[in-house]
Structure 1
Amino acid sequence: MQVSITNTATRYGWAMIVLHWLIGVIFIGQFVLGFVMMRIENQRMSFELIQLHKSFGFLLLGLVILRVAWRLGNATPPLPASVGTLERKTAPLAHFALYAFQVALPLSGWALVSVSTLEIPTMPFNQFVMPNLPLTESDAAEGFWTAAHWYLAYAGIALVALHIAAALRHHFLLRDSVLERMITPSSDGE
């Protein structure tokens, strides 16, 4: 039996699983990196961490767009019969919110560096200069996008924590296959 790249009626394929876990690790890592980089007194180290944060932000944005496209092109396995009506209705909303935050956060960061009066170029992983968004530079705009990015980050990480708690609840308390199907890929024979 060969592991499938695409989803089946009961499980996710390896493409969705890899994207899920990669995006999850980067998203959580970005929160930690953002928290640390703003608290380091060494300006050189802080600058390097900010550049790394911006690089991973662009990577995250690209991966999330890829994941959304993949999800739109592949059927999602239905929830197990053990999942209640309320959770069946709220799960799609929670997933939509996760996607929205994973797109909004990098975009708000991109807007932040685009309006900054410091005019420091963004070079993802030191490979090329990422053009700024066509926004007007100003201290007021920078303050707005800084606050927006901060609030989105904390709301996003709270949503991720809720997502993790729900997955663990399914696995350890309800003992259903919700988490397992995002760990073990589908097979061509399913």
Structure 2
Amino acid sequence: MTYTRTAVVLHWTIALLIFIAFPLGLYMHELPLSPTRLQLYSYHKWLGITVLLLLLARLAWRATHAAPPYPAGMAPWQRRAASAVHGLLYLLILAVPLSGWLMSSAKGVQTVWLGVLPLPDLVGKDKALGEALEELHEILNYGLLTLVLFHVAAAAKHQFVDRDGLLARMRFRGS
């Protein structure tokens, strides 16, 4: 049994956007203040808000569509670990863009999604809060990176060591 096409598309689209947003965030953060840096920050925010929206769609989809069962031979502790990691991934994929949006709000820089839709500030301008949220955003990002690497390593183990077909549940299929 496999995930639905919608779940697969949402999974891989979110993964791709995170794969772009994370290194972009590292790169832009080190640039001197310039129009290029400001434009990259805008792109980074667009990616983050898009990830947030796609995650909400994925959570709604998941609430109405059960995940396929784990392979029959998978140990109970692995099932629990997989469920915990997935839950933490969802939590961090939600928390990272929200912390970025909160940080922008606290720093007095409005988030404008795709350059056309101004989003409301979530908090008032507050320099100290903005700095704290910047640190939180960084910590959450590294936590997400750690979990993603763990997730990928576990998928590779199932594919190449266990050979239990787990990874095939999340692959694109023809119509």
TM-score by length of 1: 0.88
Is 1:145–2:133 an aligned residue pair? yes
Q: Aligned partner of 2:120: which letter?
A: P
8 Å CA contact retained: 1:98, 1:160: yes
Greater relative contact order: 1 or 2 (C-alpha under 8 angstroms, separation 6 or more)? 1
Partner of 1:6: none
Is 1:165–2:164 an aligned residue pair? no
Q: Aligned partner of 2:113: which letter?
A: P
Larger radius of gyration: 1
1:98-137 alpha-carbon deviations (Å, 9 max, x no partner)? 0000000010001001111xx333211111211111x232
Partner of 2:43: 52
Is 1:131–2:120 an aligned residue pair? yes
- Identity score, percent: 33
Give RMSD over aligned pairs.
1.4
Separation in 1, partners of 2:26, 2:45:
13
8 Å CA contact retained: 1:12, 1:186: no
Higher helix share: 2
Partner of 1:84: 75
Aligned positions of 1:1-190 closer than 5 A? 10-41=1-32, 43-116=34-107, 119-133=108-122, 135-185=123-173
Separation in 2, partners of 1:103, 1:168:
25
1:30-83 alpha-carbon deviations (Å, 9 max, x no partner)? 111101111223611111000110111110000001001101100111100121
How much does 1:156 deviate?
0.5
Q: Aligned partner of 2:61: which letter?
A: W
Separation in 2, partners of 1:115, 1:138:
5
Q: Aligned partner of 2:91: which letter?
A: A
8 Å CA contact retained: 2:21, 2:47: yes
TM-score by length of 2: 0.95
- Secondary structure, counterpart of 1:126 in structure 2: coil
Gaps of 5+ in 2: none
Separation in 1, partners of 2:104, 2:54:
20
Gaps of 5+ in 1: 1-9
8 Å CA contact retained: 1:13, 1:186: no
Question: Once structures 1 and 2 are overlaid, which stretch shifts more, 32-41 or 104-113?
Answer: 32-41
Q: Aligned partner of 1:16: which letter?
A: A
Q: Aligned partner of 1:111: which letter?
A: L
